[in-house]
Amino acid sequence: MLRWTTSKLQNILIAYWVIVPVLFYIYLAITSFSQQVSMQDMLQSVPGIALGNLLVSLMLFQAGILFFVSRFSQSKSGLLGKFTLFSIFQQLLTGNFIGAALAFFLGRSLLPTEENTTSQAKLIFYLALGFVLLFSALTAFVAWRMRGV
């Protein structure tokens, strides 16, 4: 059976959360070029593209949080374990099932060791999670409202 290490799964998840937004913005640039419309006009006139922009911005922010947290936490009971649990919920809330699965497998690969993190790192971590949760709820609400459009 293939056993993936924690660092390999972290790299895969960070790469996924960076590559998908890059591909979205390449698609947006090609579409705006072919339709001879500016990207700003597309974001303002097409609600689906604006929603996609919110989602990929959240993915980039989460990649940054994972990069930040993985520098000083590697345990299931530490901040990285809490982040993976939060990411599973957040990715499911925004409909990103691939991201949720990758976060799930990352959480499973973590070891249950104790860690001591500084209160400043915890404060930054929880503020960042609050920001992501707020914008995820906003994105889910907008997506729900767009279904009737």
Task: Give residue-wise pLDDT tens across range 108-117.
Answer: 999 888 888 8
For residue 74, give the amino acid letter: Q
CA distance 81 to 50: 31
Q: Is the dihedral of CA 5, 7, 13, 19 positive or negative?
A: negative
pLDDT at residue number 1: 42
Only one residue has tokens 């097409």, namely: 46
Per-residue model confidence as pLDDT tens digits over 88-98:
999 999 999 99
pLDDT at residue number 9: 93
Q: For residues 69 and 87, is the Cβ–Cβ distance under 8 A? A: no
Q: Enter the pTM of the model.
A: 0.90
Three-state secondary structure call for residue 111? strand
User: Could you tell me which of 98, 87, 101, 102 has the C-alpha nearest to residue 133?
Assistant: 87
Q: What mean pLDDT comes out for the span 138-144?
A: 89
Per-residue model confidence as pLDDT tens digits over 48-103:
899 999 999 999 999 999 999 999 888 898 999 999 999 999 999 999 999 999 99
